[in-house]
Amino acid sequence: MGVCVVTDEDAVAVGALRRLRAAVRAGVSPKRRAEAVSDEPRSGADDPTLVGEAVRAFMRERGLDDRHRVARVLEDWPTLVGPEVAQHVRVEAFDDGALLLRADSTTWANQMRLLQATVLRRLGEELGADVVASITVLGPDAPSWRHGARRVPGRGPRDTYG
């Protein structure tokens, strides 16, 4: 029986054959170049994914991602701005990146206007930079003396609080 000597060229051929067999097992056409096949694990549609990633992808596909962020602004308002501020300033409306806040006194409305840049930065850090674009702060609701569909021009009642 003869001695079989393996040369470098044989080792290259054996490696190419192994790569070709691996490609066939992986479902890659043998006509493709050998460089297309790698030893890295492939990820396909049937591979398992993390639940969080799957939920985020589902929400993005359905357009619910922005709604989730809006709901988070409303729900986590005390956490985002602090309990003391949340006690005196509440979210009135949130539409297309415009946050409308209502303060229970003019003092808190002025304080919120001064803190507006800080609150915008904090909301950008927590929720993403594109969620809240602007903040409008309103003072407390004043009682309305308008009743009914019609009204008479003029200054209205004056001796009400006296």
Strands 134-138 and 98-103: parallel
Helix (H, G, I), strand (E, B) or coil at 101: strand
- To the nearest 5 percent, what fractions of the chain are helix, strand and coil? 50, 10, 40
- Domain-embedded: residue 87: yes
CA–CA dist 110, 15 (Å, integer): 74
What is residue 136's three-state secondary structure? strand
Per residue in 99-127, pLDDT (tens digit) is: 899 999 999 999 999 999 998 898 888 87
Which pLDDT band holds residue 1 (cuts at 50, 70, 90)? very low
Q: What is the CATH number of the domain that holds 91?
A: 3.30.300
Residue 127 lies in a domain: yes
